[in-house]
C-alpha cells in the first residue's frame, strides 16, 4: 500500500480557522441563552443561521440582533415536540437552503428526585429533551444523506455522566441524548454525516437568574456564588464559551471528529473531590 505523507499546515493557513462561510445551520432553542450564543457565533463566522424557538418573538428578536451585527438569519416558531410542526418548518427551510449543520439545543430543566417527579413532569421532560432531538434529527437526516455531508450537534449535560442531586428526569433525558448521538454517528458515518454532543456544567444564562429569583428570593447573590463554586474552576461557564466549542465541532477543522461527547465543565467531572 502506498504511504501518504501528512505535512504540517502552514500556521498562516489557520488565520480563518473554524469559519463557516457558505454553510447554513438550523439551531433550535435559539431565542436565548446558549442557543442564541451559538447562533451569533455561527453567523459572525460566515454561516446563514435558521433560528427555531417555541417563542417566535424571541427567535425574531435574536434574528434582528444577528442582522444588526451584519450576520444572516431567519426566524421560525417551532415546537420541537410536534412531528408535523418540525416537518413543516424543516421543509420550508430545505426549500430555501442546503443545510450543512443542525444544532439541537432546545431543552428544558427540571428539579426533583424520583419521588418528587410526577409522571406528567417526566413525560414533559422526555417530550422536549429526548423526543424533540429525535424529531429534528429525523427531519434532517434524509436531507443530509442526499447531500453526502452534514454535521449534527446535540446539547447534552454533565448530568448524563454524574449523579447530580435532584435531577432525576433531567439526567435521564440528557443520558438519552448522548446515547442517540453515538447511535446516529455510527449509523450515518458512511453517508458523510458527523454527530457529536456537548455536555456543559452550569452555564450562566437567564434561566439561572430566574431560577434563583424564584427559589431563593433575597439570597440570589449567595446562592449564585455557591452554584458557581460547584465547578472546580470557581465559576459558571459563559454561553459564548459553549458556542466557541460548538463552532469548532461544526467546522471543517473538526472533520475527523464524530461519535464523541465533549464535557465543558470547568473540571467538574474529573477534578471533583
Q: Which residues are catalytic?
A: 170
Of the candidates 129, 127, 126, 180, the residue with the CA atom closest to the CA atom of residue 152: 180
For 124, residues 6+ apart whose C-beta sits below 8 A from its C-beta are 108, 110
Q: In sequence order, what are the residues at sequence separation of 6 or more whose Cβ sits closer than 8 angstroms to the Cβ of residue 206?
A: 32, 33
CA angle, residues 38, 169, 244, in degrees to nearest 5: 15
Say how far apart CA 262 and CA 249 lie, in whole Å: 10
Amino acid at each position: 500500500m502506498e504511504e501518504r505523507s501528512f505535512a504540517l499546515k502552514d500556521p498562516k493557513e489557520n488565520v480563518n480557522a473554524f469559519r463557516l462561510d457558505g454553510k447554513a445551520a438550523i439551531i433550535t432553542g435559539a431565542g436565548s441563552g446558549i442557543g442564541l450564543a451559538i447562533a451569533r457565533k455561527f453567523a459572525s463566522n460566515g454561516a446563514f443561521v435558521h433560528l427555531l424557538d417555541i417563542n417566535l418573538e424571541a427567535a425574531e428578536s435574536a434574528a434582528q440582533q444577528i442582522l444588526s451585527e451584519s450576520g444572516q438569519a431567519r426566524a421560525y416558531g417551532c415546537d420541537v415536540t410536534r412531528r408535523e410542526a418540525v416537518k413543516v418548518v424543516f421543509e420550508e427551510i430545505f426549500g430555501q437552503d442546503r443545510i450543512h449543520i443542525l444544532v439541537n439545543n432546545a431543552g428544558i430543566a427540571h428539579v426533583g428526585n424520583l419521588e418528587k417527579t410526577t409522571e406528567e413532569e417526566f413525560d414533559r421532560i422526555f417530550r422536549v429533551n429526548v423526543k424533540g432531538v429525535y424529531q429534528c434529527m429525523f427531519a434532517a437526516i434524509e436531507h443530509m444523506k442526499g447531500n453526502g455531508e452534514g454535521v449534527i450537534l446535540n446539547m447534552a449535560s454533565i448530568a448524563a455522566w454524574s449523579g447530580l442531586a435532584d435531577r432525576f428526569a433531567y439526567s435521564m433525558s440528557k443520558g438519552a441524548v448522548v446515547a442517540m448521538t453515538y447511535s446516529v454517528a455510527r449509523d450515518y458515518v458512511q453517508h458523510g454525516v458527523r454527530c457529536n454532543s456537548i455536555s456543559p456544567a452550569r452555564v450562566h444564562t437567564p434561566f439561572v437568574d430566574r431560577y434563583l429569583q424564584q427559589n431563593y428570593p433575597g439570597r440570589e447573590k449567595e446562592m449564585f456564588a455557591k452554584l458557581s463554586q460547584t465547578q472546580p474552576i470557581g465559576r459558571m461557564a459563559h454561553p459564548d464559551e459553549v458556542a466557541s466549542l460548538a463552532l469548532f465541532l461544526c467546522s471543517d477543522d473538526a472533520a475527523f471528529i464524530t461519535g464523541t461527547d465533549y464535557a465543558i465543565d470547568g473540571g467538574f467531572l474529573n477534578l471533583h473531590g
